[in-house]
């Protein structure tokens, strides 16, 4: 690839009659087919029922910590995004993002921005979540957010991102969040993730179930792969309840553990067949639910 000299000009010449655009730069010459400008899709103007401003760092945390659980199953299209809405947290109203694929769920809260109380709940599409990340790099930036029943807009002084929302009803996620899980495991999240990754390497299937065997202050992770062998690793943990054996998809464990930024990961179990809750230390503003697998 030839680099243009500094100061070199790129010349554009449009020929609407033939539908061609000519691009010249140095010794390069391109003729490109074009479409009529009337064919460019126009986002119909909308009256946004809610307009507020939110810190970029809060929005980045909401979407970064929830997007891994977005479903890719097209038949349940209403799960193909992040549900952003106003909800009641432990200390009052919060701005909440939720994503789930039916196997794992992420629920993340942030302080409710002023003027956001009446915001309608909307499902932000996966593609929009990915593009939005580019607007949220500056921790000190304030993002202007506008929301209606059909569209939403995120704006900085330089860039405006407008998107349709997913037309569907997000399920009542509160029904799958366990409230009575009493068996508590606390473990260093980074060490836990590394151990899960190591034992899972004996299988070519990244969805291979990892068995967690728990007894007092001891966790044994193991994987059995009929075609390639077995792997086992022991970790020192904080656990003081009855012995428990439970299995999980290795990929799901790794994704959930990677959400922990500062403190240890705290897992709350009930029985081997019930959903497990995970949070970061004592922080309940972000919680994760994962369904077990039979091992």
pLDDT tens for each residue of 154-200: 999 899 999 999 999 999 999 999 999 999 999 999 999 999 999 99
Smallest CA-to-CA distance from 132 within 197, 179, 187, 82 is with 82
Q: What is the pLDDT of residues 73-100, one digit of tens each?
A: 989 999 999 999 999 988 899 999 999 9
pLDDT of residue 44: 60
- Note whether 165 and 157 are within 8 A (CB): no
pLDDT of residue 1: 43
252 - beta bridge partners?
none
| CATH number of this structure's domain 183-290 | 3.10.150.10
Specify the domain boundaries for CATH 3.10.150.10 within the chain.
Answer: 50-176, 183-290
Half-sphere exposure of 158 (CA within 13 A, CB side): 5
What is residue 64's three-state secondary structure? helix
In the chain, the largest separation of any two C-alpha atoms, in whole Å, equals 79
Fold of 50-176: DNA Polymerase III; Chain A, domain 2 (3.10.150)
Cα separation, 222 vs 196, in Å, equals 8
The encoded tokens of residue 53 equal: 């401003």
Kindly list the distances between the CA atom of residue 184 and the CA atoms of 40, 187, 267, 278, in Å, as whole numbers in the listed order: 55, 10, 6, 10
Return the minimum-mean-pLDDT range out of 123-132, 143-152, 169-178, 207-216: 207-216
Smallest CA-to-CA distance from 256 within 278, 227, 282 is with 278
Cα separation, 51 vs 155, in Å, equals 11
Burial class of residue 89 (count of CB atoms within 10 Å of its CB; 0-12, 13-18, 19+): middle
Residue with the bigger pLDDT between 282 and 3: it is: 282
């Amino acid at each position: 690839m030839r680099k243009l000299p500094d100061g070199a000009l790129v010349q554009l010449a449009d020929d609407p009659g033939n539908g061609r655009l000519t691009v010249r730069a140095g010794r390069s010459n391109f003729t490109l087919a074009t479409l009529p400008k009337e064919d460019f899709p126009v986002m119909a103007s909308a009256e946004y029922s809610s307009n507020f401003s939110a810190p970029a760092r809060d929005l980045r945390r909401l979407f970064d910590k929830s997007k891994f659980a977005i479903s890719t199953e097209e038949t349940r299209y209403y799960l193909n995004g992040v549900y952003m809405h106003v909800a009641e947290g432990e200390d009052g109203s919060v701005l909440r993002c939720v994503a789930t694929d039916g196997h794992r769920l992420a629920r993340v809260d942030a302080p409710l921005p002023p003027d956001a109380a009446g915001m309608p709940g909307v499902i932000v599409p996966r593609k929009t979540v990915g593009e939005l990340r580019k607007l949220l790099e500056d921790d000190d930036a304030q993002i202007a957010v506008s929301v209606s029943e059909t569209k939403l807009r995120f704006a900085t002084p330089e860039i405006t991102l407008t998107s349709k929302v997913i037309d569907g009803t997000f399920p009542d996620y509160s029904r799958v969040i366990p409230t009575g899980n009493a068996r508590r495991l606390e473990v260093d999240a980074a060490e836990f993730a590394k151990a899960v990754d190591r034992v899972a390497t004996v299988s070519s299937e990244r969805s291979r179930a990892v068995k967690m065997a728990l007894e007092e202050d001891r966790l044994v992770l193991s994987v059995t792969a009929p075609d390639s062998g077995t792997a086992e690793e022991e970790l020192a943990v904080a656990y003081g309840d009855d012995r428990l054996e439970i299995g999980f998809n290795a990929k799901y464990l790794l994704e959930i553990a990677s959400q922990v930024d500062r403190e240890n990961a705290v897992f709350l179990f009930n029985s081997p067949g019930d959903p497990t809750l995970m949070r970061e230390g004592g922080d309940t503003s972000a919680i994760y639910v994962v369904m077990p697998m039979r091992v």
